[in-house]
Amino acid sequence: EADIYQTPRYLVIGTGKKITLECSQTMGHDKMYWYQQDPGMELHLIHYSYGVNSTEKGDLSSESTVSRIRTEHFPLTLESARPSHTSQYLCASSESSDHTGELFFGEGSRLTVL
Amino acid sequence: GQNIDQPTEMTATEGAIVQINCTYQTSGFNGLFWYQQHAGEAPTFLSYNVLDGLEEKGRFSSFLSRSKGYSYLLLKELQMKDSASYLCAVMDSNYQLIWGAGTKLIIKP
């Protein structure tokens, strides 16, 4: 059973607010990812990390930032939220050293920006 | 550009068999994944294919043809709980996953 947790599950905030979506995993996985998913659409990679102090931007242009100070923790921050940021954000981790391992997903954070 | 195509929606009957197709055009290939995603939930891993052929896992099987850029997921003895979206994803030459938009499978009694 996967042990990857996201908080908050649901968040409604006003434009211009700063928010941080938390993601933690207890599996000791080095690789962690943030995806954005709109209803009926494909997952888009916005950030990833292959280990502590390693972060990269994904293929989707994003105004968010991430940090990886500890293996188990990979928070995503939006400095100034806008209605276009309304979406579901999925955090995932993987243990595979050869990139072929499955991804374990958290339950997601559904963000609504008014 | 990189592209994953799968049908938007399919309907099948409880107890029957359904095949969900996925075609892809990517920069390189390092494997193809199928994930299941129930409405409002996170995706969960179903299968991984990197060599041509059929991989069977219980009621679910996944097939790959690299020369044709084609895969399918076969679900047998359908149950109501199989109603979900099925996501096809290909790992490209940079080991990044390219995702399809998913196929919403509706199971009718």
B99 touches chain A (CB under 8 A): yes
For residue A99, give the nearest of B30, B35, B104 by CB distance: B30
Per-residue pLDDT of chain B (109 residues; tens, 9 = 90+): 789 999 999 999 999 999 999 999 998 999 999 999 999 888 999 999 999 999 999 999 999 999 999 999 999 999 999 999 999 999 998 888 999 999 999 999 9
Chain A CB contacts of B84 under 8 Å are none
Q: What is the mean pLDDT of residues A85-102?
A: 85
**Contact yes or no for A103 and B45 at CB 8 A:** yes
C-alpha to C-alpha distance for A30 and A27, rounded to whole angstroms: 9
Q: How many residues can be counted in chain A?
A: 114
SS3 per residue for B24-83: EECCCCCCEEEEEECCCCCCEEEEEECCCEEEEECCEEEEEECCCCEEEEEECCCCHHHC
Cα angle for residues B31, A108, B21 (degrees, 5° grid): 35
**Contact yes or no for B101 and A100 at CB 8 A:** no
Q: Which of A36, A91, A99 to mutate to test the interface with B (most CBs of B within 10 A)?
A: A99
